[in-house]
Structure 1
Amino acid sequence: MDVEETSSVKLAHTASKKCSLFTWFRRLFTLDNLPNQKQHFPVFIITMSILHIVILLLIYVTRTGDVHRFILALYRFGRLYVPCMRPTVSHIRMRSVPCNIFGKGGMCSYDDLIKQECFSFAYPHQIWRMITVSCLHSNWLHLVSNLSAQLIQGIPIERKYGTPYTLVIYWLSGIGASLVGLIRLGSEGAVGASGCLHGLMLFLIMDRLSALKTKHGYDRVFIILQLVFLMLPYAVTSATLIIQYRVVHDAHVGGALVGFLLGIQAFGLPLFCICKNDDIHQKIFRQLAIVLLILYFLMIVVVFLQIDAPIVDRILYSGIMYNGTIDYQYFE
């Protein structure tokens, strides 16, 4: 009888330890400021993550056939590529270059080849590429780097704030990142969701810094550990990516700035002091963040609309069009 009781006590103790570990691990993904705060299911982040995996997986699973050609066309149609989004200067557009297009007699205009490479629909104003670029990745290392951040940082945000608010942070950061990246991208293509993820990351940091103001003792230590846990995987994978590939750092800064301003708008400036008129100051900071965010978008849109598309040398001098691979020089 005593042996049975001892055994049951051990089992209960083991189960309790497992439960405590699971609860602590789950807490890392929970940004609750109040006990038993309502949590949402992260529909958007999980859906986007599955979409990212499926698109890249289809490239490797379907080496030939209609599905493979469709995915390659999707990359051509969705990558961030300035020549498809801004017109080239007129004297270059009309220049004759060698080509293999049926009915052209071996010579085409530069504009004909760019249009065919971009697809003619809405050329040269294909602004949807600022959004679709976030659905595409060049290889598995690129995907793992972005996916780790998207899941580890995106899930806590969506669980706390819900899908609509997460959508706003994600896509505003992505568009802000793309607009900045386009200004200096040149004639190369770029793919990736890092601009969106840097926006999520800065918003998450602002959320946790804001929570630190109201916490004490162990709770404050836990928030610091939580930040380290949520940021470290992306820092490691990003470092590996930066060493091996060329990265559009301008886009990362643009996305991070949007996330930072959205964080100030939501939480105010996380100053570690209790001032007499703190509520008034924080209200001013929130309103100022909205103004700065609007000015930021207006400024980069105006700059973007002033630039001409860069010249694609391989088309201008050799008539060589995009080769149908997904190995881009620039990662976002």
Structure 2
Amino acid sequence: MITMYINNCPRNYGSCFAPFLGRFAFQPRSQNMMLGPSPHTLEKMGALDVTEVVHGHQGWRLITCNWLHAGLIHILANMLSLLFIGIRLEQEFGFAKIGLLYAISGFGGSLMSALFLKPNDISVGASGALFGLLGSMLSELLTNWSIYVYKFAALFILIFIIVINLALGLFPQVDNFAHIGGFISGFLLGFIFLVRPQFGWIKQQKILRYSTTPIKQKHTVYQHIYWILASALLIAWFTGGLVLLYHGVNVNNHCSWCRYLSCIPTSKRSCR
């Protein structure tokens, strides 16, 4: 609402979609198919712009872009995804852990997007953070493998959902690199934040509630190994990504095939 209020299409642009909404009217569909403001307004409000981040010293855009959306359709799609994915995780692990995981994954998505974003393009949306939640669900399943009954069925369904969502990121106007960056960040964070006590320890606590002699360790050896490896990889990913970004590196210039991770070439576009 604030973005649309500032956009003020009738005053600043004249021709608008749904003009009866007054200053909340949308940009013409030819400019924004998502029923939202102009790219100029989004950039002014904090959209991810690589030039401004690197040369304008506006690193905060890596965070603010996650709280902006291209339009009504964009925010509704993300809210529905958050409704189905986020509620279960928050109920099981609490607001603090999932909120932090969501925010850090969003930053990881922005960082990956910035490394591939063209200088004249902008990026907005919470998709990176949402994919971080998906990634964390996968790592949570792997690190807490022993407590699940239908392990392989859960793994198959989750991988199927992830593949479908990544495939949708190949369509125009969608930044799949933000999805990939958010997913990787969330996957690593899941090993750190979403570790459950092993079943034997939980059962033991019920039986020996007043005993001071533990029989089983709270976490398994492989859970500790996952935690250490994930922490090291996450630090390396964020550090390396920021170094490359602030050195002005655009990965597209060094990876000829990477653009196909966010684009399907057709007769009308070449993905260049």
Distance (Å, rounded) in 1 between the aligned partners of 2:25 and 2:188 = 41
- Counterparts of 1:61 and 1:176, CA distance in 2: 38
Instruction: Tell me the amino acid that sits aligned with residue 179 of structure 2.
Output: H
Matched residues in 2 for 1:150 and 1:66: separation?
25
The answer to whether 1:300 aligns with 2:241 is yes
- 1:154 — aligned with what? 86
Does the C-alpha gap of structure 1 residues 261 and 155 become closer, same or farther in structure 2, counting only changes over 3 Å? same
Take 1:236 and 1:57, find their aligned partners in 2: how far apart are those partners?
32
| CA distance in 1: counterparts of 2:116 and 2:92, whole angstroms | 36
Q: Report what 1:115 is aligned to.
A: none
Q: Which amino acid aligns with 2:77?
A: S
Aligned residues of 2:115 and 2:249 also touching (Cα < 8 A): no
| 285-294 vs 135-144, greater mean Cα deviation | 135-144
Q: Which amino acid aligns with 2:126?
A: A
Match for residue 286 of structure 1 among 207, 227, 233: 227
**What residue is the counterpart of 2:191 in the other structure?**
264
Q: Is the 8 A contact 2:43 2:49 kept in 1?
A: no
Change in 2 beyond 3 A, CA 1:57/1:153 = farther
Structure with more relative contact order (C-alpha pairs < 8 Å, separation 6 or more):
1
Does residue 123 of structure 2 align to residue 190 of structure 1? Answer: yes
The one of 143, 149, 154 equivalent to 1:224 is: 154
Cα 1:265–1:231 change in 2 (3 A) is same
Select between 245-254 and 140-149 the one with higher mean Cα deviation. Answer: 140-149
TM-score normalised by length of structure 1:
0.52
Q: How far does residue 77 in structure 1 lie from its aligned partner after superposition? A: 2.4
Q: Is 1:170 aligned to 2:111, yes or no? A: no
Pick from 168, 176, 179: which aligns with 1:249?
176
Q: Work out the number of aligned pairs and report it.
A: 206
Residue ranges of structure 2 left out of the alignment (5+ in a row): 8-17, 28-36, 196-216, 251-272
Q: Which runs of 5+ in 1 are unaligned?
A: 1-53, 88-123, 269-276, 310-332
Alignment RMSD: 3.8
Whether 2:18 is the aligned partner of 1:85: answer: no
1:144 — aligned with what? Answer: 76
CA–CA distance in structure 2, aligned partners of residues 77 and 57 of structure 1? 11
Please state how far the C-alpha of 1:235 moved relative to its aligned partner: 7.2
CA distance in structure 1 between the partners assigned to 2:145 and 2:228 by the alignment:
22
- Equivalent position SS for 1:259: helix
3-state SS in 2 of match to 1:246: coil
Shift of 1:301: 0.8
Q: Percent identity?
A: 28
Does the 8 Å CA contact 1:212/1:223 hold for their aligned counterparts? no
State the 1:285 CA deviation: 2.0
SS of the aligned residue for 1:251 comes to helix
Structure number with bigger Rg: 1
**Does 255-264 or 57-66 show the bigger shift?**
57-66
Q: 1:61 to 1:221 in 2, by over 3 A?
A: farther
